[in-house]
Structure formats: structure tokens, C-alpha cells
Structure 1
Amino acid sequence: MRQLEAIFLDRDGTIGGDDTVHYPGEFELFLYVEKEIKRLKQDNIKIFSFTNQPGISNGLAKRQDFVQELKGFGFNDVYICPHRHDEGCSCRKPNTGMLIEAQQKHELRLENCAVVGDRWSDIVAAAKVGSIKILVKTGAGKSSLNEHFDKLNDVNIDYIANDFKDTISWLYRNFILSNRL
């Protein structure tokens, strides 16, 4: 059984909001998320943000506002791609730049980390580095399963969760508690 080292969480649609971007000050967490983040941290699981935010590049928001907001929610560290999809960066999901940066900074084994998101790009990035892949049906999750099946065709999703709370229950059953037995 793998020892879970960290969880990478997408922002919009995964831990709050819906399938659109809500800028800091407008974004609201789902009711149970803050409690679950505290629980994970008490069990020494690192929690990282992992989010594409092209509004930064477009001048609609500031990176520091996202960082401040996410750290306020309890994240250990924040990884943000501020680029638009046409800028050709290595950090924008489904590329793996944010995951690799966190791996190096925190000395992680990405195969012992979970990536949780509501979009196909979250899951494909996780697959590229061998992480545990969890797709939540909130946000764009249902449409990712239905409309982007072709992009997920060769990816074995480890778990499809109804929401973030379901995700955390599954992780506790399969990784966190089972390692204590």
C-alpha cells in the first residue's frame, strides 16, 4: 500500500465555485472543504493548490490575490499557472510543470500523491506523472466524463467521486487509514 504524501487540488469546481472561474473575493468553498483540509493536515498530509488561472495573464486578477486566498483556506503551498492556453508554457494543465515544481521543492514522490480535479486536464496531468487520479463530478466533472471522453480514453481514473467529501472518504479508506493498520 502506498503512503499518501500530498494531495494536489484544483480550485474552481473542485473545492468550490462551479465550472467557471471566480476571482478571489468572489470564490466560495463548498461547506465541508475547510474542515476536510484541516483533517488532512492533522494527519500530516500536505495540501497543495494546482490551478490554471489565465485571468492573471489577461490582467483580470493578481497572482498574489489567489495565493493569499488559497493559503487562507489552509493550503501548504500554491501552484498557479497564470498563462493562457496559447502561450505555450510547461505549467498549464495538462502539462506537468506545477507538479514537477512541487515535487522538487517538497521532495515528493508523485506516485504517492493524489491529484483531484473536475476537468480532463487535471486527470491527464496526474497520469503523466503517475499520481493517483481522482475526478470529481462537481464543477465541470460530469461534462469532462461525457464530452471529453476521448481525452480520458487512455487514462485509468483511480476514482470518480461525487464531490470533494466523497474524495476524502475514499482516500482515507484506501490510503490514509489503511497505512495505520
Structure 2
Amino acid sequence: MKKNNKIQAVFLDRDGTIGGDDTIHYPGEFRLFPGVKENIRKLQEKGIKVFAFTNQPGIAKGLTTKTAFIHELLSFGFDQGYICPHAPEAECKCRKPNTEMLQQAAEDYKLSLARTVVIGDRWSDMVAASKVGAMKILVKTGAGEQTLKEHQERLKDIELDKVVEGIEEAMNVIHREYT
């Protein structure tokens, strides 16, 4: 993406990227990293949509509901939350690294996915972003360090745009280079 090409949207993974760690924390237990709400608001003030996109297999297991996740994500300031509620073995089209959540957002909000940024901590976030031509920022929080060490084979054909320490640094990159 060219530096002068303003982005239309940012997609943020949930667990390990905007808060929590490399495990799933259900709504009510999840804690955001400092500055996330403020950075979401700053992007929105610049006319950029901010979406959560997350795999949440606990929904299929009956451990929580999609509604609970959506309510929580909206309370954080997201414009919308896109959630895959399926278990990995379901082989659905929405579970990352598949792209249905990104494509649905593009349809819902008339976005060019080439003018979006995906921020996440897992290889599946980066593969999904790569498939749609989005900018890719990997954070080292959550499963990010593990992704860099153990999933090189899955990332071998993907050029990450940035690898950063955490969400605050990722947001600074976006504010500085793409808004």
C-alpha cells in the first residue's frame, strides 16, 4: 500500500491483540490493553471504520453467545464485530484464515479490502489479510511471538508489512503512515 493511499478500515483480532493473552477470555472476563478504546475513537474521527474479527469456537460449544461477544465489542467502540462461531472441525468459510468475515465487512460497508489493515497475533490473521490484499501488521503480544517462531512455514509466502511489539505501536504506525 502506498503511503499516500488513505485506508478505509482497520480489522482488529480480539484475543491477544487488543487485550487478554493467547487464550480465549469470554465476555465479562476479557480486559483490553491500555489505549485501545482511545485509538479506535481516533481512527473513527479520521473517517476510518474499525472492526473486530475473531474466531470464537466457544459459541459452538455453548459456552457463551455471539450476542454477548457483539455487545462487548460494540462497548469497546468498534463499528461492528465479525465473529466466526464455529469449531475448527466445522470447516466453515468464515473461520480465519478464510476470508468470509473480511469479505462480509467489505460488502456491508462498501470497502476496498486493498485499502484496509489487519492487525493480529496469529498466522491465521495474516493469511486471511494476505488473501484479500490487506496490509498486515503482526503484534508480538498474545500468540505473536509463537507465530513468528513456530509458524514460519505458514507465513513463508506472505510479506508482513510490519511486526510490532503490541497494539499501541500498531496503532501508531497506522496514524503515522496511513491516515
d(CA) in 1 for partners of 2:163, 2:117: 13
Match of 2:143 among 140, 144, 149: 140
| Corresponding position of 1:169 | 172
d(CA) in 2 for partners of 1:120, 1:2: 25
Q: Which string of whole-angstrom CA distances, capped at 9 and with x for unpartnered residues, describes residues 93-148 of structure 1?
A: 00000001011110000000000000000000000000000100000000000011
d(CA) in 2 for partners of 1:15, 1:142: 15
Stretches of 4+ moved more than 4 A in 1?
Answer: none
* CA RMSD after TM alignment: 0.6
Match of 1:21 among 21, 24, 28: 24
**Aligned to 1:57, what secondary structure does the other structure show?**
coil
TM-score by length of 1: 0.96
**Identity across matched positions, percent:** 51
| Corresponding position of 1:45 | 48
Pair 1:86-2:103 in alignment: no
| Corresponding position of 1:179 | none
d(CA) in 2 for partners of 1:95, 1:8: 14
Question: Gaps spanning 5+ residues in structure 2: where?
Answer: none
* Between 109-118 and 39-48, the greater mean CA deviation after superposition: 39-48
| Corresponding position of 1:95 | 98
Pair 1:126-2:125 in alignment: no
Q: Which string of whole-angstrom CA distances, capped at 9 and with x for unpartnered residues, describes residues 74-99 of structure 1?
A: 00011000001110110000000000
d(CA) in 1 for partners of 2:143, 2:91: 23
**Aligned to 1:133, what secondary structure does the other structure show?**
strand
| Corresponding position of 1:69 | 72
d(CA) in 2 for partners of 1:34, 1:175: 19
d(CA) in 2 for partners of 1:87, 1:137: 28
Q: Which string of whole-angstrom CA distances, capped at 9 and with x for unpartnered residues, describes residues 22-81 of structure 1?
A: 000000000111111111111111000100000000111100000000000000011000
**Aligned residue pairs, count:** 176
Question: Gaps spanning 5+ residues in structure 1: where?
Answer: 177-181
